[in-house]
Structure formats: structure tokens, C-alpha cells
């Protein structure tokens, strides 16, 4: 989401046109809150609305952590960028 929002949408789509063919793992952007929090928190409309406001912040925190952890991983080159081909 962070990478998608920081680029022009047409260029992002062109760059990642074949990404659907690869297995990318768990799709945490859609079901992050539902998988990590209790179902009773989503039954109340007020808390459900509040959690929907928090969801982009949590996704942003996860994605920034994914980029920074490569700096401290000795098995990955420090110039590795998963978005460049």
C-alpha cells in the first residue's frame, strides 16, 4: 500500500502487471484487523468504525518495517530493492 500510494497509479500497474502470477503470501492489507483482533470488537459499530480508521496506519507501519529490515539482514544485499527489476 505504501509503495502503491507513493507512485503514479498507471506506472505502478505497469510495473506490477505480472505480480498476480506469483504467490505473494498472506494478504495482510485486507484482513489484518480481522485476523489479529477478537471478533467481538467488530460487533460494535463504533469500535468497528474506529478500527477501520486505524487499519491504514497499521499497514503503513508494517510496510515501512519490511523495507528497513533488509538493512539489518546480512543475507540480503544492502542495495536490494524488491520493486526494481
Is the predicted pLDDT of residue 3 greater than 80, yes or no?
no
Average pLDDT over residues 30-43: 88
Distance CA 79, CA 69 (A): 12
Cα-based distances in Å from 14 to 7, 18, 85: 11, 9, 12
The model's pLDDT over 37-83, given as tens digits with 9 standing for 90+, comes to: 999 989 999 999 999 999 999 888 888 776 666 666 667 666 666 65
Instruction: Give the burial class of 46: count Cβ atoms within 10 A of its Cβ; 0-12 exposed, 13-18 middle, 19 or more buried.
Output: exposed
Amino acid at each position: 500500500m505504501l509503495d502503491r500510494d507513493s507512485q503514479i497509479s498507471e506506472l505502478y500497474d505497469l510495473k506490477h502487471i505480472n505480480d498476480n502470477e506469483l504467490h505473494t503470501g498472506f494478504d495482510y492489507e485486507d484482513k489484518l484487523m480481522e485476523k489479529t483482533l477478537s471478533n467481538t470488537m467488530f460487533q460494535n459499530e463504533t469500535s468497528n468504525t474506529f478500527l477501520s480508521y486505524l487499519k491504514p496506519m497499521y499497514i503503513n507501519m508494517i510496510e515501512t518495517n519490511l523495507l528497513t529490515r533488509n538493512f539489518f539482514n546480512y543475507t540480503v544485499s544492502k542495495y536490494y530493492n524488491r520493486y526494481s527489476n
